[in-house]
Amino acid sequence: MRRSDPVDGFRLAYDRAGGGPAVLLLHGWPGDRTDYRGVVPRITAAVEAVVPDLRGFGESDRHPAEPRSQYTAAAQARSIIALIEELGLSRPVLAGYDIGSRIAQAVARERPDLAGALVVSPPLPGIGDRILSPRAQQEFWYQPFHQLGLSTELIEHLVSMYGRPGAFAASVAWYRSGAGSVATSVAEQVPGPAGRIAVPTTVLWPEHDPLFPRQWSDRLGEFFTDARLIHLDGAGHFTPLERPEDFAAAVTAAADPSRHP
């Protein structure tokens, strides 16, 4: 395990393995960099894998900072951009699911010059106010729950992974910052052609994701210039854990230099 230089006072813990074109793997909530334990061994013969813990997760720094300034997608992206630059990675593939997907997209919007390609699973833009439907809200109960101070008290004692003081509070700062899928989807606006993500993007959309039904993939073209949709039949929300072989294949293909002359 290595540590990055600090950004906004946060150092990221990360692992680095393999050789070749670079790939950066971004985990989801409530995970950490070990979410990719089944993916990394499948790709390091062909690529260099860099796998960080996000701000507030795993062994990275966690601070009782104002969520809307230090734990948003933009704030997390600042740390990822700095890590790319610190390590001298040349246009790495950015791959992620859950909140890692949102952060990868944020980097691609902010610094498209740093990203060679994206490989992402939901959430993605285009969901809109469909996320407010009663059926969807039955699955997103935890996002308003995270707004309650009580959530920290209860879950800190239940989840061993977040048992260290402040660990759960730091992880749910993402939701308290307004970066959760409900707030983001409701607020989204369709960009003009120049505002779309231009980085070549592979979308792995699972069949059985209770949070993001497959039919919500119908508007990707309004937000991405170059998006390829792959359906992961039989898979649920946690794509790198449930289908590491498919995730690894997509990442390796995206990193192939012949695809990016």
Tens digit of each residue's pLDDT (9 = 90 or more) over 73-130: 999 999 999 999 999 999 999 999 999 999 999 999 999 999 999 999 999 999 988 8
Give start and end residues of each alpha helix (H) in the chain.
Answer: 40-43, 67-70, 73-87, 99-110, 134-139, 142-145, 149-156, 167-171, 173-176, 181-187, 239-242, 244-255
Tens digit of each residue's pLDDT (9 = 90 or more) over 184-240: 888 899 999 999 999 999 999 999 888 899 999 999 999 999 999 999 999 988 899
- Domain boundary assignment for the chain: 2-255
Its CATH class, for the domain covering 2-255, is: alpha beta
Are the beta carbons of 224 and 197 closer than 8 angstroms? yes
Give the pLDDT of residue 158.
Answer: 45
Give the pLDDT of residue 142.
Answer: 60
Match 């009782």 to its residue by tokens: 64
HSE-CB at 85 with a 13 A cutoff on CA atoms is: 12
- Compute the C-alpha angle 150/151/153, nearest 5°: 65
Give the pLDDT of residue 133.
Answer: 83
Find all residues with CB under 8 Å of 62, minimum gap 6, and list them.
Answer: 55, 56, 166, 167, 169, 170
- Which range is least confidently modeled, 18-32, 131-145, 193-207? 131-145
Q: Residue 141 pLDDT > 80, yes or no?
A: no
From 44, 95, 28, select the one nearest 254 (Cα to Cα): 95
- Which range is least confidently modeled, 9-13, 30-34, 41-45, 133-137? 133-137
Give the pLDDT of residue 166.
Answer: 80
Neighbouring C-beta atoms of residue 102, cutoff 10 Å: 26
Find the mean pLDDT for residues 251-258: 91
21 vs 147, residue with greater confidence: 21
Confidence of residue 152 (pLDDT cuts 50, 70, 90): low
Give the pLDDT of residue 85.
Answer: 98
- Which range is least confidently modeled, 50-59, 111-120, 151-160? 151-160
Give the pLDDT of residue 157.
Answer: 41
Neighbouring C-beta atoms of residue 119, cutoff 10 Å: 31
Q: How far is CA 151 from CA 19, 58, 84, 157, in A?
A: 42, 19, 34, 10
Give the pLDDT of residue 223.
Answer: 97
Q: Residue 31 pLDDT > 60, yes or no?
A: yes
pTM for the whole structure? 0.87
Give the pLDDT of residue 199.
Answer: 96
Confidence of residue 259 (pLDDT cuts 50, 70, 90): low
Are the beta carbons of 235 and 243 closer than 8 angstroms? yes
Confidence of residue 137 (pLDDT cuts 50, 70, 90): confident
Tens digit of each residue's pLDDT (9 = 90 or more) over 9-21: 999 999 999 999 9
